[in-house]
């Protein structure tokens, strides 16, 4: 079993839809949770960063962490064609010096 599981998709939605992306994990030591966005032929870039359980909102993006269920989510409201990318979840047991484990990434297509 992989430490981090993420459905690779692809996920195709119409413009304006609410998108839900999810990851599950098995290591209860993970405390730091991140979502990276990767456009085609580019390196990933950090989108959202949360510590422990709870919600974090940034514009159209909301990250949720449920440590009791070992489940994290990224919600995108009012999705735009420019949101079309691969979204990778990532998590780490500590800040600095700890290995970050990445999910396989979910490919998202937002149709105009």
Partner 1 sequence: GAGVSQSPSNKVTEKGKDVELRCDPISGHTALYWYRQRLGQGLEFLIYFQGNSAPDKSGLPSDRFSAERTGESVSTLTIQRTQQEDSAVYLCASRVAGVNEQFFGPGTRLTVL
Q: Is 103 in the site for partner 1 (CB under 8 A)?
A: yes
Taking CB under 8 A as the rule, which mask of x and - marks residues 5-44 in contact with partner 1?
-x-x-----------------------x-x------xxxx
Beta carbons within 10 angstroms of residue 58's beta carbon: 10
Comparison of 17 and 61: residue with beta carbon closer to partner 1 = 61
Q: To the nearest whole angstrom, how small is the minimum distance from the Cβ of residue 40 to partner 1?
A: 11
């Amino acid at each position: 079993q992989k430490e981090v599981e993420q459905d690779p998709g692809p996920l195709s939605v119409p413009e304006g839809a609410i998108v839900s992306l999810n990851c599950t994990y098995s290591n209860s030591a993970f405390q730091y949770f991140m979502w990276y966005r990767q456009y085609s032929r580019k390196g990933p870039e950090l989108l959202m960063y949360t510590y422990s359980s709870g919600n974090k909102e940034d514009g159209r993006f909301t990250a949720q962490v449920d440590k009791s269920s070992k489940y994290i989510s990224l919600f995108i409201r009012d999705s735009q064609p420019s949101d079309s990318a691969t979204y990778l979840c990532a998590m780490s047991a500590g800040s600095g010096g700890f290995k970050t484990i990445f999910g396989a990434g979910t490919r998202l297509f937002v149709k105009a």
